[in-house]
Chains A and B, each alone.
Chain A
Amino acid sequence: MVELQGTLVLLILKTLAHGPNHGFGIALHIQAASDGLLRVEEGSLYPALHRLERDKLVSAEWKVTDNKRRARYYKLTPAGRKWLAKAEDNWDSMAKGVGRVLRFA
């Protein structure tokens, strides 16, 4: 399993880029989208979500789900969208760099 600490924020925001979602949905999505390779710790996910909310990269509101349960939905703010775009670029170049280094070695 890959260590997720530094990239968790990137994954959360990327997930929310597809549309508003609640914490469980985000965790599920990351796991599914990575074919089960990445698994998010709940102990990191929820504090991270609330930090993003405080930093105004996401906004949150209580909504009722399809099966009539109240859930806290997170949504990307314009600032979050901008941050995400930049982080994705950085990530791409870093991934490329790391990839090259690994291949070289």
Chain B
Amino acid sequence: MSDRDDFREEIEFHVDMRAELNRAGGVSEDQARESARRQFGNATLIQEDMRRMHVNTFLESLLQDLRYATRGFARQPLFTLTAVFAAALGIGSTSAVFSVVDRILFRSLPYAHDDRLGSLGMIAPLDTNEFLFADAYFDWRKHQTPFTSVTSFTAGVADCDLTQTNPLRLGCAQVEGNFLSTFGVSPVLGRDFTAQEDVPNGPRVALMNYGLWQSRFARDPNIPGKTVLIDGQPVTIVGVLPPNFEMPTLAHADLLFPEALDEARERAGRALRVFARLKPDVTLAQAQAAMQPLFEASLQYVPPQFRKEVHLRMRSLRDRQVQDARTASWVLLGAVGAVLLIACANIANLLLARATSRRKELAVRAALGAGRGRLIRQTLTETLLLGTMGGVAGCALAWALLRMFVSLAPEGIPRLDQAALDPRVLLFTLAGSIASGLLFGIAPAIQNPQAESLTGSRTAGTRRMLLREWLCAGQIAISLVLLVLAGMLLRSLWKIQSVPMGLETEHVITAEFVLSRLGYSEDARQHQFLNELEARLAKIPGVGSFAISDSLPPSGGTRGRLLASMQVEGQPPFDKGTGGLIMWRYVTPGYFSALGIPIVRGRAFTENDRAPGASSMMLSQTFAQRLFPNGDAVGKRIKTVEWATIVGVAADVRNLGPLQPAEPEYYILRRHVPDEISHIQEPPTGWRQAKVAIRTSVNANVMAGWIKREFAALDPALPVTIGSMQRRVGRLVDRPRFNALLLTLFAGMGVLLAAVGLYGVMAFLVAQRTAEIGVRMALGATPAAITKLVLSRAAGWTLAGVLAGLAGSIFATRALQSMLFGVEARDPSTYLVVLPVLLLIALAAAWIPTLRAARVDPMNALRHE
């Protein structure tokens, strides 16, 4: 705009004009010039000044503001520390929670146009997720209209073994040929399956997971075309999946095989997970409506008794993956958002207090020519600097919190292992810092410095005081909401934990394993292994009672039978619907004593029951009452696969967790030799999957070592997972405990911040009114009266906050209802506990400043004026 020549020319013009004027006064040419120059002064210096006016740009004034702000903060370390601490608490916890829930709620899934993907199928009491039997799937696939493509994989990822040097247990999934193309995924190496490969009895080919390729095959670029041994069979690898590939159900799969559905023979076939890509402009609801007729037509494949219990379900892929974590995610995000809000209100309050004491300084600057915009910018620079410092400290806190989340988190939080402070989260943190900086900076910034501030009068702060009280009331309101939510979750957790599970979990060690398909496909071989295992376990010193079962509580058995398909001796066949699915377990005699399940009637299984020709079973109490409401079950006979005599009734076990009532179940005794039941080798694992429960008083780690040694002696390649019954049962309450813990943590932060805020406002109020208090005392007010005066002020806005908080809680708890067990959202007892706690903390926060007020020395106070 202006360069050096322009400045010089402007100055020369001035000097020339002045010289001309001098000449007109009758001075000689030289003298006129000389005196004009002298009058102008140091032209070079002035030129420099002029130039500086233009380069004093935005950046330079920003640096100036920053320097000024830093000096100011350094002068008030306590203020700065408190503000940064509050900001860090708010921003840090928000970032940590965001890094977790972002993966659940917001971040796109690793598929092309992931929002167009959905999961569909039938929903039935068997499974919490939708599935489809192959016969119905063939019809749906052929006649569907709302999708550009549908695909499936066989439900469940089965264990399989890499059987070459250094055998490895892998997860193998069977997917349809168009699986990858439907999800918009292409292999990073090699190719996808061809149509010729996804046919019955097609070539044995597989796609390999990136992780396996990396860890086991050292990223061999020539892997496509190579052959590996899976369960003893040669399999040709055709391609490698991209590193971010994941199954749509989030199950872990190392190898994908062609599903090879046989449309001609698969009519009564396997259960499939079905996924589809929506056509453009088709919504999920429209797709569901379009599939309804197909669903109704395919009910023909469902056993008639079952039809009423089966429905069509279509949902987005994200909903399929997130399951029930959505509500908890939003509640946690809301809770940290509330903490952030409290932190902002807190800092705004601190800044307002600081602004009041800086009124004179700002007024002086205004009088010296600083524009209003300049002063607002200065204030905003300060708050943004605070926000940034809080953000940096918050990042450190977020890192620590995230590590805590991951170590404490229960299983089943989707994608928790991926949560990290990556650029996206850091960007969020940055945005959060700036947004909160602006939020808590607005209030002080819009306060216009007024000339009257220079007079030292104290009336100017009244409006501001009101704002500060409202901010304080707001903090109390939000913390009350947080406390109520945390209280509800804690009460709910307590109720959950006090529900008896029906077992004694202490001192019980578990071992889980799946025998490999290659060596144990026949039931005779399975029996041989399990008999030897039984004999070896019995010899371990310190083993009390133990059991081998196909499944262990708490979790329903892995096998079920429709009540309608059973025959009870002396009773007519069941004809009211299916009667529901009754779960059952395949156990050895020690099952009940090992798990501490009481026998209510009759006796437990004994070794004699396993003799050839004997056939016995046991019922759970609920099941016994259902079948024999008026009589004793013991001695009656029931036919499942074969006729068996009921020898006893065991107490109920809450298999589905403390939140669900006990479901009926029955127990079949596992014999030493193959029988009709052991012939049922259902896919995917048949009876190869087994679990051992051992009651022992020996130290768990020592016992674990002994158990592993016995397994290794039987089959050195068999992976065994050792655990404890306590851990298995505890896992059921992990989720509620985690939620309650986090919410309590955030509520604690909120209350702490609110208390600091209340204390700050009270202390400021007392300091500001010292003179007034002095006058009152001089006029005869007692310390008690002063205490009352100050406390009533605090009580006023605490009450306002409490009322607002109660109103907010009623709304907030409604959102929480689905996470509560045995606690009503309007449960008054939670409020009865939470309210006194909050009021006590508020009183404590107000107490110190109040004491100070009551101890004001009137002489000292008045001398200040």
Q: Which residue of A lies closest to B9 (CB)?
A: A70
Q: Which of A55-79 contact B (CB under 8 A)?
A: 55, 62, 69-72
Number of A-B residue pairs at CB separation under 8 A = 58
Q: How far is the CA of A10 from the CA of B41 in the complex (A)?
A: 23
Contact of B46 (CB < 8 Å), options: A6, A27, A46, A54: A46
Q: How far is the CA of A27 from the CA of B17 in the complex (A)?
A: 11
Q: Binary interface profile of B, 1-24, with partner A (CB < 8 Å = 1, else 0)? A: 010001001110110111000000
Main secondary structure on chain A at its contact with chain B? helix
User: Does B10 lie within 8 Å of A46, measured CB to CB?
Assistant: yes
Interface: B781 (CB within 8 A): no
B26 to chain A, nearest CB (A): 19
User: Does B53 lie within 8 Å of A72, measured CB to CB?
Assistant: no
Contact of A47 (CB < 8 Å), options: B13, B16, B40, B53: B53
Known interface pairs A42-B40, A43-B46, A72-B6; A50-B53 also in contact (CB < 8 Å): yes
Q: How far is the CA of A43 from the CA of B14 in the complex (A)?
A: 12
Q: Binary interface profile of A, 1-41, with partner B (CB < 8 Å = 1, else 0)? A: 00000100100000000000011100100000000000001
Q: How far is the CA of A6 from the CA of B367 in the complex (A)?
A: 9
Q: How far is the CA of A50 from the CA of B46 in the complex (A)?
A: 11
Q: How far is the CA of A94 from the CA of B52 in the complex (A)?
A: 31
User: Does B46 lie within 8 Å of A51, measured CB to CB?
Assistant: no
B454 to chain A, nearest CB (A): 12
Known interface pairs A43-B41, A43-B46; A51-B53 also in contact (CB < 8 Å): yes
Contact of A69 (CB < 8 Å), options: B11, B16, B53: B16
Question: Which chain A positions have C-beta within 8 A of B40?
Answer: 42-43
User: Does A69 lie within 8 Å of B2, measured CB to CB?
Assistant: no
Question: Which chain A positions have C-beta within 8 A of B264?
Answer: none
User: Does A54 lie within 8 Å of B54, measured CB to CB?
Assistant: yes
Question: Which chain A positions have C-beta within 8 A of B30?
Answer: none
Q: Which of B197-235 contact A (CB under 8 A)?
A: none
Q: Which residue of A lies closest to B50 (CB)?
A: A50
Question: Which chain A positions have C-beta within 8 A of B52?
Answer: 47
A80 to chain B, nearest CB (A): 13
Q: Which residue of B lies closest to A27 (CB)?
A: B14
Known interface pairs A54-B54, A70-B9; A41-B41 also in contact (CB < 8 Å): yes
Question: Which chain B positions have C-beta within 8 A of A23?
Answer: 10, 13-14
Q: How far is the CA of A40 from the CA of B42 in the complex (A)?
A: 15
A66 to chain B, nearest CB (A): 12
Question: Which chain B positions have C-beta within 8 A of A49?
Answer: 50
Interface: B45 (CB within 8 A): yes
Question: Which chain B positions have C-beta within 8 A of A51?
Answer: 53
Question: Which chain A positions have C-beta within 8 A of B53?
Answer: 47, 50-51, 53-54
Interface: B39 (CB within 8 A): yes
Question: Which chain A positions have C-beta within 8 A of B14?
Answer: 22-24, 27, 42, 46
Question: Which chain B positions have C-beta within 8 A of A72?
Answer: 6, 9-10, 13
Known interface pairs A50-B2, A54-B56; A69-B13 also in contact (CB < 8 Å): yes
Q: How far is the CA of A6 from the CA of B369 in the complex (A)?
A: 8
B306 to chain A, nearest CB (A): 79
Q: How far is the CA of A49 from the CA of B14 in the complex (A)?
A: 14
Q: How far is the CA of A70 from the CA of B46 in the complex (A)?
A: 20
Q: How far is the CA of A27 from the CA of B192 in the complex (A)?
A: 85
Interface: B865 (CB within 8 A): no
Question: Which chain A positions have C-beta within 8 A of B2?
Answer: 50
Number of interface residues of B (CB under 8 A): 24
Q: How far is the CA of A72 from the CA of B369 in the complex (A)?
A: 25
A82 to chain B, nearest CB (A): 12
Q: How far is the CA of A42 from the CA of B12 in the complex (A)?
A: 12
Q: Which residue of B lies closest to A71 (CB)?
A: B13
Question: Which chain B positions have C-beta within 8 A of A54?
Answer: 53-54, 56
Question: Which chain B positions have C-beta within 8 A of A50?
Answer: 2, 50, 53-54
Question: Which chain B positions have C-beta within 8 A of A70?
Answer: 9, 13
Interface: B676 (CB within 8 A): no
Q: How far is the CA of A13 from the CA of B744 in the complex (A)?
A: 63
User: Does A42 lie within 8 Å of B49, measured CB to CB?
Assistant: no
Question: Which chain A positions have C-beta within 8 A of B49?
Answer: 43, 46-47
Question: Which chain B positions have C-beta within 8 A of A69?
Answer: 13, 16
Q: Which of B602-637 contact A (CB under 8 A)?
A: none
Question: Which chain A positions have C-beta within 8 A of B46?
Answer: 42-43, 46-47
B714 to chain A, nearest CB (A): 88
Q: How far is the CA of A6 from the CA of B46 in the complex (A)?
A: 18
Question: Which chain B positions have C-beta within 8 A of A53?
Answer: 53
Question: Which chain A positions have C-beta within 8 A of B39?
Answer: 42
Q: Which residue of A lies closest to B451 (CB)?
A: A90
Q: How far is the CA of A49 from the CA of B2 in the complex (A)?
A: 13
A56 to chain B, nearest CB (A): 11
Known interface pairs A22-B13, A24-B18, A69-B13; A42-B41 also in contact (CB < 8 Å): yes
Question: Which chain A positions have C-beta within 8 A of B42?
Answer: 43
Q: Which residue of B lies closest to A67 (CB)?
A: B20
Q: How far is the CA of A27 from the CA of B46 in the complex (A)?
A: 16
Contact of A24 (CB < 8 Å), options: B6, B9, B13, B41: B13
Q: Which residue of B lies closest to A90 (CB)?
A: B451
Question: Which chain A positions have C-beta within 8 A of B371?
Answer: 55
Known interface pairs A41-B41, A42-B39; A47-B9 also in contact (CB < 8 Å): no
Q: How far is the CA of A46 from the CA of B371 in the complex (A)?
A: 20
Question: Which chain A positions have C-beta within 8 A of B54?
Answer: 50, 54
Q: How far is the CA of A42 from the CA of B37 in the complex (A)?
A: 11
Question: Which chain B positions have C-beta within 8 A of A47?
Answer: 46, 49-50, 52-53
Most A Cβ at <10 Å: residue of B13, B54, B56? B13
A69 to chain B, nearest CB (A): 6
B358 to chain A, nearest CB (A): 22
Question: Which chain B positions have C-beta within 8 A of A27?
Answer: 14
Q: How far is the CA of A53 from the CA of B18 in the complex (A)?
A: 23
Q: Binary interface profile of B, 850-862, with partner A (CB < 8 Å = 1, else 0)? A: 0000000000000
A71 to chain B, nearest CB (A): 5
Q: How far is the CA of A45 from the CA of B2 in the complex (A)?
A: 17
B479 to chain A, nearest CB (A): 45
Q: Which residue of A lies closest to B48 (CB)?
A: A47
Most A Cβ at <10 Å: residue of B11, B16, B49? B49
Q: How far is the CA of A42 from the CA of B17 in the complex (A)?
A: 13
Q: How far is the CA of A54 from the CA of B51 in the complex (A)?
A: 11
Q: How far is the CA of A62 from the CA of B52 in the complex (A)?
A: 20
Q: How far is the CA of A51 from the CA of B51 in the complex (A)?
A: 10
Q: Which of B323-372 contact A (CB under 8 A)?
A: 369, 371
Most B Cβ at <10 Å: residue of A9, A50, A54? A50
B60 to chain A, nearest CB (A): 11
Q: How far is the CA of A9 from the CA of B49 in the complex (A)?
A: 16
Q: Which of B91-135 contact A (CB under 8 A)?
A: none
19 A-B pairs whose Cβ atoms sit less than 8 Å apart in the complex: A23-B10, A23-B14, A24-B13, A24-B17, A42-B40, A42-B46, A43-B41, A46-B10, A46-B11, A46-B49, A47-B52, A47-B53, A50-B50, A54-B56, A55-B371, A62-B6, A69-B13, A70-B9, A72-B9
Q: Sorted from nearest, which 8 A-B pairs have the closest CB atoms?
A: A50-B53, A47-B49, A24-B17, A51-B53, A50-B50, A24-B14, A43-B41, A72-B10
